[in-house]
Amino acid sequence: MQNRFRKLRSSKAIRELVREVRLSKDGLVQPFFLVEGKGQKQPIPSMPGIYRYSADLIVPAVERFVKAGGKSGLFFGITDKKDARASGSYDPSGVVQRGIRAIKKHFPEFVVVTDVCLCAYTDHGHCGIIHNKKIDNDKSLPVLARMAVSHAEAGADIVAPSDMMDFRVGAIREGLEKNGFHDTILLSYAVKYASSFYGPFREAAHSAPGFGDRKTYQMDFANLRESLKEASQDVAEGADIVMVKPALAYLDIVREVKNQFNVPIAAYNVSGEFAMVKAAAERGWIDEKRIVLESVTSMIRAGCDLVITYHAKDIARWIQE
């Protein structure tokens, strides 16, 4: 006799009883953008509901997320203080460093993750230092390490390098150790593809490259096996958590990385993925809540232990309802 599989779908309670993946707000990370100045809450046109906040207004923004059940945020800095050396990136009174101090003062338990990358601080908008007209891998490493250490000094729990220079995980780990930050967690954007899904973010962060593209450092989206090389080296250099980015078009990569490595796996549901959902929902073409819950469930089913998503606050609220 064959079985009747519909038995296990026959009521909501039974479906919930046998569900394989259960959504929890514990693994959700909400990205936040920090800007200079005071009293700033700037909307981002292609990312409805997401704002750039100055250090004074970031605290109420985080508070709203915490009230919805949120426990962790990923912080990006946006500044017009840009130069060839990316010196704003490691400034102890820089835009991110001040923001983190304010958050940690009010919410010491809130898990602060910081994006470590030079693109918002270089005058050319690339993620590394330029030397002889090239993005110079090894000249970028000490700057990235210094930036990560300055985030740890300001109170970051987790530093997350997204630049895609080789050996930056090792350089950052060494910088943290040398400066006494033995407990700072390193979340590596190990598997980061050169993707068109980052468009709205670059508008938000004023971080688009002034010339060329990021294809000499971010990965070719046609490659899966390359993701295993990247993840393997980052784990060997001391990454505690590895990330795959973007998320939805890359769930095969998430699954493969999950199968091969025994560290927690994160995925970044990026700005372009968010903008597409928002745009279609605004037109009434899709049901936003259902689309988002289905998408984030599929990310977890694919193997994500944590998901970074601009929908985090909404998802947390929907779960609580």
201 binds ligand PBG (CB under 6 A): yes
Distance CA 85, CA 154 (A): 21
Find all residues with CB under 8 Å of 268, minimum gap 6, and list them: 189, 243, 244, 245, 246, 247, 308, 309
By beta-carbon proximity to ligand PBG, the closer residue of 57 and 247 is 247
Is 134 a known active-site residue? Answer: no
Distance CA 314, CA 321 (A): 11
Is 25 a known active-site residue? Answer: no
Q: Which residue is nearest to ligand PBG (CB)?
A: 201
- Helix, strand, or coil (residue 304): coil
x-or-dash string of contact with ligand PBG, 4-23, rule CB under 6 A: --------------------
Distance CA 163, CA 72 (A): 21
By beta-carbon proximity to ligand PBG, the closer residue of 70 and 272 is 272
Catalytic residue among 25, 71, 82, 192, which?
192
Could you tell me the smallest distance in angstroms from the CB atom of residue 195 to ligand PBG? 8
Q: Which of residues 141-180 bind ligand PBG (CB under 6 A)?
A: 162
By beta-carbon proximity to ligand PBG, the closer residue of 124 and 214 is 214
Catalytic residue among 245, 258, 278, 313, which?
245
Q: Which of residues 260-289 bind ligand PBG (CB under 6 A)?
A: 270-271
Cβ atoms of 243 and 306 within 8 Å: the answer is: no
Q: Which of residues 69-128 bind ligand PBG (CB under 6 A)?
A: 115, 117, 119, 127
302 binds ligand PBG (CB under 6 A): no
Encoded tokens for 19: 């569900």
Secondary structure of 145-157 in HEC code, one letter for each residue: HHHHHHHHHHCCC
* Helix-helix angle 251-260:225-237, to 10 degrees: 50
> Judged by CB under 6 A, which of 110, 181, 193, 198 binds ligand PBG?
198
Which of 84, 103, 85 shows the shortest CA–CA distance to 95?
103
Active site residues: 192, 245
Q: Which residues bind ligand PBG (CB under 6 A)?
A: 115, 117, 119, 127, 162, 198, 201-202, 214, 270-271
